[in-house]
């Protein structure tokens, strides 16, 4: 039941009770048609947000922005950007009366000690379910599938809830495995004959490892698809990372990447062609901005800046995600015409300047992961006296007494960057990286700069 008042529904009729379903065909429309719909939804979003958001009213008044001058998306660059820190003002960002809020999410708060609140209305939850239904369906999953969701539905996380609602809307069978142990997940797969695992790649790997150490073969089980969340599975050229290749071999299943965040409440998921995550024109406007906050040339790398459309509780305009990626234009092999977002190459604030090159910590690890000689490890960054970055790779090898000379060769060949290497034991590496009791994702970068 939609709790928003009739008046608000009239000002903002978009997506009420998931009428957004009518936009599902937009994925295959011609670019002019897509742009026309997006222009209309964007202007509605702007009008709604400026009518209801104390935060944006204040910012736009201060910056003397007159939204009547914004005629379509080509003018979006005139609007101020929203920073992550701005989200700490959740009271001022709230656009509805508190009684309209039905769920309060918290973000993982990677850059701030205070978690960010994301209050959602029932319409926002409907939108979230619609978003995820289409995202999951994009991978070829349908109502005959059983999905093991290895993402927490509790602790105010949005992701687990989104997958759960989306899967239900798709009429698939949902198994709320949550943040259990590898052993619990493996038992659930056998019990429920799950065909799809939704989870962080490193966790899916642990489940497979658990099965193998117990003399069972994940390849022979019911799982046929892996939907990877939270960590990339592809490199810049859209090739599978070694860890993803290993997961496919381990499970005899295809792996699909998704990219999403609580702030954008929108999922970019790969289709069966697996050539980048399809953007969702009816749900989000995506911009790629350079260091100067100006748009980059088409296909160039930059920061992903998003304006999620159709949000009623805490709508945002031009939110800087801090993630670095690029857009892919043109029709996909799946016949969808929507732009695709390449894998996230790193976080803007994790960018390391090293001997004249730019490198992201996860690129260093990705170059080594999947090599059977490499057990695991993490990266630490510190500042040198001259202001440049000092990068240290803490590496644990599968055979702890062997030489690590090959690491330098691999990194030199793949990245042309060789950090300082410090050897650690496998036990120490695992202890530092897998803190799933505290964090949802692996911790592979420690920034001491």
Residue 234 in contact with Zn ion, rule: CB under 5 A? no
Stretch that binds Zn ion, among 236-244, 282-290, 303-311, 331-339 (CB under 5 A): 331-339
Pick from 90, 102, 106, 94: which is nearest to 157 by CA? 106
Q: Helical H runs in 170-272? A: 182-192, 201-213, 242-251
| CB closer to Zn ion out of 47 and 272 | 272
CB of 149 to Zn ion, least distance (A): 23
Backbone torsion region of residue 346, taken as left when φ is above 0, otherwise alpha when ψ lies between -120 and 50, otherwise beta: left
Token couple for 430: 């695992």
Minimum distance from CB of 204 to Zn ion (Å)?
23
Pick the closer one to Zn ion by CB: 336 or 375.
Answer: 336
If you ran DSSP here, which 8-state letter would residue 124 be given? H
CB of 338 vs Zn ion, minimal distance in Å: 8
* Rounded-to-integer distance, Cα 347 and Cα 444, Å: 13
**Segment interacting with Zn ion, rule: CB under 5 A, options 192-200, 285-293, 333-341, 390-398:** 333-341
Is the separation of the CB atoms in 336 and 311 below 8 Å? no
Please select the residue that binds Zn ion; options are 320, 336, 432, 441, rule is CB under 5 A: 336
CA–CA separation, 300 and 290 (whole Å): 9
End-to-end CA distance of the chain: 49
Q: CB 330 → Zn ion: shortest distance, Å?
A: 11
Q: Does 118 bind Zn ion (CB under 5 A)?
A: no
Using the rule CB under 5 A, give the single segment among 12-20, 61-69, 326-334, 357-365 that binds Zn ion. Answer: 326-334
Q: Mention every residue, 6+ apart, whose C-beta is less than 8 A from residue 239.
A: none
Cα separations in angstroms, 246 against 249, 266, 343 = 5, 28, 18
- Closer residue to Zn ion (CB): 164 or 268: 268
CB of 25 to Zn ion, least distance (A): 15
- Asked if 274 is part of the footprint of Zn ion (rule: CB under 5 A), the reply reads no
Q: For Zn ion, which stretch binds (CB under 5 A), given 177-185, 252-260, 329-337, 361-369?
A: 329-337
Question: Binding segment for Zn ion among 230-238, 289-297, 336-344, 402-410 (CB under 5 A)?
Answer: 336-344
Angle at 373 between CA 429 and CA 210, to 5 degrees: 60
**336 versus 441: smaller Cβ distance to Zn ion:** 336
> d(Cα 145, Cα 187) in Å, to the nearest integer?
18
For the chain, the residue count is: 449
Output the six-digit token pair for 290.
């350079």
Size of the site for Zn ion (CB under 5 A): 5
**Both structure tokens of 97:** 């009366």
Taking CB under 5 A as the rule, does residue 253 contact Zn ion? no
Give the strand pairing for 420-423 and 357-359. unpaired
Q: Which range, of 91-99, 140-148, 325-333, 433-441, touches Zn ion by CB under 5 A? A: 325-333
Q: Is 273 in the site for Zn ion (CB under 5 A)?
A: yes
Considering only 50, 227, 264, 332, the residue that binds Zn ion (CB under 5 A) is 332
Q: Output the smallest distance, CB 6 to Zn ion, in A.
A: 39
Q: Tell me whether strands 173-175 and 146-149 are parallel, antiparallel or unpaired.
A: parallel
Task: Yes or no: say if 56 and 317 are a contact pair by the CB < 8 Å rule.
Answer: yes
* Structural contact between residues 283 and 131, judged by C-beta atoms closer than 8 angstroms: yes
271 part of the interface to Zn ion, by CB under 5 A: yes
Q: Does 334 bind Zn ion (CB under 5 A)?
A: yes
Q: How far is the CB of 402 from Zn ion (least distance, A)?
A: 42
Between 334 and 363, CB nearer to Zn ion: 334
Only one of the segments 45-53, 153-161, 279-287, 324-332 lies at the binding site for Zn ion (rule: CB under 5 A); that segment is: 324-332
Residues that bind Zn ion (CB under 5 A): 271, 273, 332, 334, 336
């Amino acid at each position: 039941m939609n709790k928003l008042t009739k008046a608000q529904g009239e000002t903002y009729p978009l997506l009420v009770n998931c009428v957004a379903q009518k936009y599902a065909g937009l994925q295959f429309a011609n670019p002019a048609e897509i742009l026309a719909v997006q222009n209309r939804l964007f202007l509605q979003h702007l009008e709604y947000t400026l009518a209801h958001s104390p935060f944006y009213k204040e910012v736009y008044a201060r910056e003397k922005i007159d939204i009547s001058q914004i005629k379509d998306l080509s003018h979006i660059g005139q609007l101020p950007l929203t920073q992550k820190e701005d989200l700490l003002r959740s009271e001022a960002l709230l656009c509805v009366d508190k009684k309209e809020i039905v769920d309060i999410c918290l973000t993982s708060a990677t850059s701030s000690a205070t978690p960010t609140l994301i209050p959602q209305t029932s319409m926002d939850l409907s939108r979230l379910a619609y978003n995820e239904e289409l995202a999951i369906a994009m991978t070829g999953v349908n109502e005959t599938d059983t999905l093991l969701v290895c993402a927490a539905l509790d602790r105010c996380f949005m992701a687990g809830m989104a997958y759960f609602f989306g899967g239900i809307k798709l009429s698939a069978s949902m198994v709320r495995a949550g943040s259990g142990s590898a052993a619990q997940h493996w038992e659930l797969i056998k019990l429920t004959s799950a065909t799809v695992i939704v989870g962080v790649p490193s966790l899916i790997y642990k489940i497979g490892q658990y099965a193998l150490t117990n003399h069972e073969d994940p390849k022979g089980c019911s799982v046929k698809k892996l939907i990877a969340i939270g960590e990339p599975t592809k490199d810049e050229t859209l090739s599978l990372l070694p860890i993803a290749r290993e997961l496919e071999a381990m499970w005899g299943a295809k792996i699909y990447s998704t990219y999403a965040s609580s702030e954008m409440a929108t999922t970019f998921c790969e289709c069966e062609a697996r050539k980048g995550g399809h953007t969702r024109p009816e749900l989000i406007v995506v911009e790629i901005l350079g260091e100067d906050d100006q748009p980059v040339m088409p296909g160039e790398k930059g920061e992903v800046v998003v304006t999620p459309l159709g949000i009623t509780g805490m709508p945002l305009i031009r939110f800087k995600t801090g993630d670095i990626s690029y857009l892919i234009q043109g029709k996909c092999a799946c016949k969808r015409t929507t732009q695709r977002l390449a894998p996230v190459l790193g976080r803007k604030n994790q960018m390391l300047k090293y001997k004249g090159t730019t490198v992201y910590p996860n690129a260093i690890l990705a170059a080594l992961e999947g090599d059977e000689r490499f057990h695991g490890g993490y990266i630490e960054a510190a500042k040198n006296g001259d202001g440049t970055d000092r990068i240290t790779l803490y590496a644990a090898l599968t055979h702890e007494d062997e030489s690590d000379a090959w690491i330098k060769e691999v990194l030199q060949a793949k990245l042309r960057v060789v950090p300082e290497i410090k050897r650690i034991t496998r036990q120490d590496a695992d202890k530092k990286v897998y803190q799933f009791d505290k964090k949802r994702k692996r911790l592979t970068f420690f920034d001491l700069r």
